[in-house]
């Protein structure tokens, strides 16, 4: 029998507080080191700790008697499932095991676990329709390939059952590093992660699949302390305080002048939304350099914006921060403005067609442009163009992608997506561990550009402006969507709400 007396810690994970997130490789390294230090049967000792933590969570959330079906894979994740089944049966649960994969090739540790389950009298079944809870112990963090057809079918069956699912370490089918489903993943109600939180749990598909997240360090806290995290999640509660306090004896010049450059023929809306967002996020002054045909519309929508279509050089001299790219286009007009803007040494935010412009430059030209006082805000497609790969390549390893972007271009980088990533000038990465479908519409990125530019103008560093800006953008959308009868928004819905979110 497994040792059900071993003590183990169990913690709920608050994604709104700063969390250290790790790659699968880092966790495996810590695990292997612990197994070595624990001596003979060290792997089984860790498996016992994992099973004890799972039982503790079961007893908290689904007290006995309950009917449970454990899906056991043919690796060590399945071994955790076997030991859990043995412990749970001894604790009064009606529990069954469904084996998936070739269990004749179980490793030594998983074989011990399977033997423990057999000695405890846990039945093996092909189905258990009366199960009230499903336990996913099919695959762990080591999964690095697309799932085969039988496994995809089994996961689809689990997801369609309508029953609560407890995932062991990570929902099966989910990449531990990128959070991408391969191509499907178990949609868990609760996930108990071991040793450390894997970055993929809080990115991309992980946000929809891990459910309520718990952590058991398996008594390896000190061993993990020496491991550098892949990234840190953003602590939302502390972000607002990064805005400087405003003295009573203030004037508009104290809060910066943002110059928005963009809006070629037919693309005026993007630049207008950026300018409007900058006004509503506290910039002292906002100017828009755009085609003359857009001046009337801009002044009607936001008369506080100063609009010009002549003498961009003068505006570049007076601006504190330049936001260039929204609606800029790829024609000679936009290219000439890019040359002018890049010739300055002003703090700058590049988005949309500004990113496409620098993506098309020769390597020799890029070497002279790399700087630390700009912010790049690509979505995966734009990031792919900047790194000469596809957007799908970016999504397969977002952490590696943002590091490559920072190394190549310098400055602060914000990689958009479900689980926005932000890199500072030293290459350290932060993760906004949340997302909302309410942001899935055209123009949302233009609004984000204006938010970040306004925060830069008020004195925030590039990385702080990106963190606060991304959080403000998302939080405004989430709160506003709750008030709507439908789950979507348009970008201009956000703009008048931004200043309310800054003070609430």
Interval 217-230: pLDDT, tens: 999 999 999 899 99
Strands 231-233 and 20-22: antiparallel
Asked if residue 293 and residue 412 are part of one domain, the reply reads yes
Which tens digit of pLDDT belongs to each residue from 283-341? Answer: 999 999 999 999 999 999 999 999 999 999 999 999 999 999 999 999 999 999 999 99
Dihedral angle of Cα 298, 299, 305, 310, to the nearest 10 degrees: 70
Same domain, 350 and 478: yes
**1 belongs to a structural domain:** no
Q: What is the mean pLDDT of residues 175-192?
A: 97
Other beta carbons less than 10 A from residue 428's beta carbon: 15
Quote the CA–CA distance of 109 and 74 in Å, as a whole number.
Answer: 11
Of the three residues 197, 229, 261, the one that is the final residue of a domain is 229
Q: Which residues contact 316 (CB under 8 A, 6 or more apart)?
A: 259, 322, 340, 341, 344, 346
State whether 45 and 165 are in the same domain. Answer: yes
Same-domain status, 322 and 449: yes
Q: Number of H helices and number of E strands within the chain?
A: 20, 19
* Same domain, residue pair 263 and 175: no
Looking at residues 182-201, what average pLDDT do you find?
A: 97
Q: Computed over its alpha carbons, how large is the radius of gyration of the chain?
A: 26
Residue 1 has what pLDDT?
A: 46
| Gap between the Cα atoms of 376 and 142, Å rounded | 33
Asked if the peptide bond before residue 65 counts as cis, ω within 30 degrees of 0, the response is yes
- Residues counted in the chain: 504
Instruction: Give the HSE-up count for residue 197: Cα atoms under 13 Å, Cβ half-sphere.
Output: 26
- Both 170 and 285 in one domain: the answer is no
Which H or E run contains 393?
helix 391-396
Q: Is 265 helix (H, G, I), strand (E, B) or coil?
A: coil
pLDDT over 50 at 92, yes or no: yes
Asked if residues 262 and 290 have their Cβ atoms less than 8 Å apart, the reply is yes
With respect to residue 6, please indicate whether it lies within any of the assigned structural domains: no
Q: Which of the residue ranges 238-242, 249-253, 312-316, 353-357 would you say has the lowest mean pLDDT?
A: 238-242
Q: Residue 338 domain-assigned? A: yes
144, with CB counted inside 10 A (0-12, 13-18, 19+), is exposed
Domain final position from 196, 229, 262: 229
Specify whether 222 is located in the same domain as 311.
no
In sequence order, the 6+-apart residues with CB closer than 8 A to the CB of 385 are: 355, 356, 359
Residue 311 lies in a domain: yes
Instruction: Give the contacts of 247 (CB within 8 A, at least 6 positions apart).
Output: 254
For residue 278, what are the CA distances in angstroms to 172, 284, 469? 43, 9, 11
How much of the chain exceeds pLDDT 90, in percent? Answer: 89
The CATH number of the domain holding residue 76 is: 3.40.50.10260
Of 179, 2, 150, the closest CA to residue 71 belongs to 150
Query: Of the residues 194, 229, 264, which one is the last residue of a structural domain?
Result: 229
Q: Indicate if the pLDDT at residue 6 is higher than 70.
A: no
Pairing state between β 94-99 and 133-137:
unpaired
Domain count, the chain: 2
Claim to verify: residue 178 and residue 99 sit in the same structural domain: yes
Interatomic CA distance for residues 140 and 101, integer angstroms: 14
Q: 413: domain CATH number?
A: 3.40.1190.20
Please write the tens of the pLDDT for every residue from 352-406.
Answer: 999 999 999 998 888 888 999 999 999 999 999 999 999 999 999 999 999 999 9
SS3 136: strand
Query: Quick one: 220 and 275 in the same domain?
Result: no
- Judge whether 473 and 448 are in contact, CB under 8 Å: yes
The CA distance from 292 to 309, in Å, is 5
pLDDT at res. 243: 82
Residue 2, in any domain of the structure: no
- Asked if residue 346 and residue 200 are part of one domain, the reply reads no
356: in domain: yes
Assess if residue 272 is contained within a domain.
yes
393-426 pLDDT per residue, tens? 999 999 999 999 999 999 999 999 999 999 999 9
Angle (CA) 114-6-98 rounded to 5° is 25
Q: Output DSSP code: residue 183.
A: S
Same domain (yes/no): 271, 219: no
At 460 the pLDDT is 95
Indicate the pLDDT class of residue 503, thresholds 50, 70 and 90: low
Beta bridge partners of 214: 12, 192
pLDDT in tens, 102-150: 999 899 999 999 999 999 999 999 999 999 999 999 999 988 889 999 9
| pLDDT score recorded for residue 2 | 47
Mean pLDDT, the chain, whole residue set: 94
- Structural domain of 333: 236-243+251-503
**Residues with Cβ within 8 Å of residue 308, at least 6 apart in sequence:** 287, 288, 289, 290, 315
The answer to whether residue 401 sits within a structural domain is: yes
Pair 136, 104 in one domain: yes
């Amino acid at each position: 029998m497994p040792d059900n007396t071993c003590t183990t810690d169990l913690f709920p994970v608050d994604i709104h507080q700063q969390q250290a997130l790790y790659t699968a490789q880092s966790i495996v390294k810590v695990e292997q080191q612990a197994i070595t230090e624990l001596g003979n049967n060290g792997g089984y000792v860790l498996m016992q700790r994992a099973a004890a933590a799972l039982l503790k969570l079961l007893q908290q959330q689904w007290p006995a008697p309950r009917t449970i079906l454990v899906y056991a894979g043919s690796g060590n994740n399945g071994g955790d499932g076997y030991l859990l089944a043995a412990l749970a049966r001894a604790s009064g649960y009606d529990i069954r095991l469904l084996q998936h994969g070739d269990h004749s090739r179980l490793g030594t540790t998983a074989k011990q676990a399977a033997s423990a389950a057999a000695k405890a009298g846990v039945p093996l079944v092909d189905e258990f329709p009366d199960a009230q809870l499903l336990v996913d112990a099919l695959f762990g963090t080591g999964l690095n390939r697309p799932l085969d057809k039988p496994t995809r079918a089994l996961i689809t069956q689990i997801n369609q059952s309508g029953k609560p699912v407890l995932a062991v370490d990570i929902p099966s089918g989910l990449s531990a590093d990128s959070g991408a489903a391969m191509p499907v993943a178990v949609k868990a109600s609760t996930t108990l992660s071991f040793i450390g939180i894997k970055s993929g749990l809080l990115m991309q598909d992980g946000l929809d699949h891990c459910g309520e997240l718990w952590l058991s360090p398996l008594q390896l806290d000190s061993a993990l302390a020496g491991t550098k995290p892949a990234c840190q999640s953003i602590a939302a509660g502390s972000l607002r305080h990064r805005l400087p306090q405003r003295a009573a004896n203030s004037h508009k010049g104290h809060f910066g002048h943002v110059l928005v450059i963009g809006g070629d023929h037919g693309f005026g809306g993007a630049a207008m939304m950026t300018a409007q967002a900058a006004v509503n996020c506290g910039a002292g002054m906002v100017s828009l350099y755009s085609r003359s045909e857009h001046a009337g519309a801009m002044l009607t929508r936001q008369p506080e914006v100063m609009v010009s279509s002549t003498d961009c050089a003068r505006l570049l001299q007076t601006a504190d921060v330049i936001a260039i790219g929204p609606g800029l286009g790829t024609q000679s007009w936009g290219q000439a403005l890019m040359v002018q803007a890049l010739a300055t040494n002003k703090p700058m935010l590049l988005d949309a067609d500004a990113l496409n412009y620098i993506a098309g430059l020769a390597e020799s030209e890029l070497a002279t442009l790399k700087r630390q006082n700009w912010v790049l805000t690509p979505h995966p497609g734009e990031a792919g163009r900047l790194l000469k790969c596809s957007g799908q390549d970016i999504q397969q390893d977002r952490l590696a992608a943002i590091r490559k972007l920072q190394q190549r271009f310098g400055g602060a980088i914000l990689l958009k997506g479900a689980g926005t990533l932000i890199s500072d000038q030293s290459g350290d990465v932060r993760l906004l561990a949340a997302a909302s479908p309410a942001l899935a519409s055209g123009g949302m990125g233009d609004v984000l550009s204006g938010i970040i530019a306004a925060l830069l103008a008020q004195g925030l560093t590039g990385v702080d402006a990106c963190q606060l800006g991304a959080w403000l953008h998302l939080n405004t959308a989430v709160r506003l969507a709750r008030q709507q009868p439908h789950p979507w928004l348009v970008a201009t819905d956000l703009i008048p709400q931004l200043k309310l979110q800054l003070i609430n």
